[in-house]
Chains A and B, each alone.
Chain A
């Protein structure tokens, strides 16, 4: 297990380096004058040149690249080109806000979709099952930002339930924050519900028809115990994998939702950084999403091994 974890951590470092390189290349391929972007169209050429010298964007590309990689591995992300504030001061609060939204979305999504999946599996091919499957298919086919826009127009603007600006003012209580975050969270819930519910349903159906379930039932175990100890334990392994992977997707999909609700999370930060070619902020944001994605898949592997003792992570290594 330890060897597996070390190997995965090593792979994460290599992946992060690749990610940082890709971001650097892509942003610089886009071209453009960073100083001009920051200072605006009316700034004088000499001011633009001075600004580029200040932030180092007048240096040769290869020098900028090595500086940027070195900064990442020394956890020194530098200052934002745009605001001149330390990147970490911009990215960490944004990450906190995105995490808050993502956690709320997960807290709502997971129990609802797992319950719906089990409910449907136990009524396989009946009306309830068809409803869950088709609603799930439909909801997961709609992009998060479309759902978000519909929720915003319908609830926040028309019915005045929920908020257009999802950023809660400083000092808002936890329950107060729910009012701000509920609509964007629901946009993600609607998108992720179907996938998780259908995975749960499929896993539960497989487990329901498995030999071990039949054996457990014939041994005379109570149905609740069969469900908990035999069906769910086996059926939820692929669901947990899906959920873990969804964490990574969630931080990607959140970009559109944050944009619609003007939520100052990591997605908005990334989007603004792209528009302004704020490379330090973009690099830090993308790396954070990358770390979350890789960490969540590693966590999924570990959880699967824990839930299913037949899985040996070191096997074949």
Chain B
């Protein structure tokens, strides 16, 4: 009996042993790792950049810091110890981490690959984490949706609000004021639907549809003072393609721009941005004096969908008089470029404006040709961010409040499911090679996930919602009607 016990204990110990590969020279081959983290730039303190190697029986990785320190990983995939990893990245800010990878195949043969590097950026990413909606990339029916937050330094993901918590309502995008955890809006759709507004001191449930406006508040962006929120009010419909290359074409039947005043609970409108044309996806400039938005001439839809092209525009907004400016400036004219622009997002330091460009339409996540573009706001010059774009949709970008870093949603893995990528723009104005949101076991996670990461943004601190209050507001329809400023 004892013998069996010893064998059992030995077997357990053997299976847990940290087997190092035999000493051998590296081959010229690069390891085929997932996610592709080779040559990416990462912030110090990010969650361990674990990766898988297809077909590997066992993976041994030795990471050496360009300045100091080293660490190892043994296992079925590269799974780094969180504390050691943080220490190593903190010690090597501005330097490279070199990854020496050896793989034991299923037949027990080791192979050592040519090393690769990750660069630890000297631009810090100090945000607590990110917030996003997880939603199946469907069409008209959505199963379980939810707003989640993820700590950037670890793999911890927690629900901010899940659909099941509010009895089967569909949850829409979360918009915060420069990543603040106590100032945000969140839409709930369905029976008793409305917009949850956390203004910093109050949690209210708003009915943003008024007799004078075209629809519910949809795409939002906070004024830096935390009082005003620019929204587009949209009525969205979808058409579907029948050819191999395309899937969905969402478009706005109506879309206008309004500004919501959270103190007076009123909406401010202007005939300049509430026209039969389509005005959408507003974003305040960092100084709050201007609203960037997209504007398209009405075309006969859905027949002329390829002619639906949005220009990038701006209009002044004065908080003192609570009024829009008297003219619309066209920053990039759709007619002149023959393309359509969407989702303008200025960096919080006022240096850049990032936006999407597609052949036509207003929903870049549904266009494989959607690319990220960047405008230098000091010169007005734009360029395509070729260093981050892919052959599939790259969209839903947002900037870190600390500057430099941005994240975006990309369907580059399979063309259907949007995943999150991070990149940063250095002093040279160039973006670094983006890296995919790290996961404990990335291949397993991303293979099994049947959701897209939708409308992601950075958050400076963890969001804690008063769930009983929210449930009660939604269930009892404790909704506050918004009025229009006359």
Partners in one complex: no
Task: Using CB atoms and an 8 Å cutoff, list the residues of chain B in contact with chain A.
Answer: none
**Chain A residues in the interface with B (C-beta under 8 A):** none
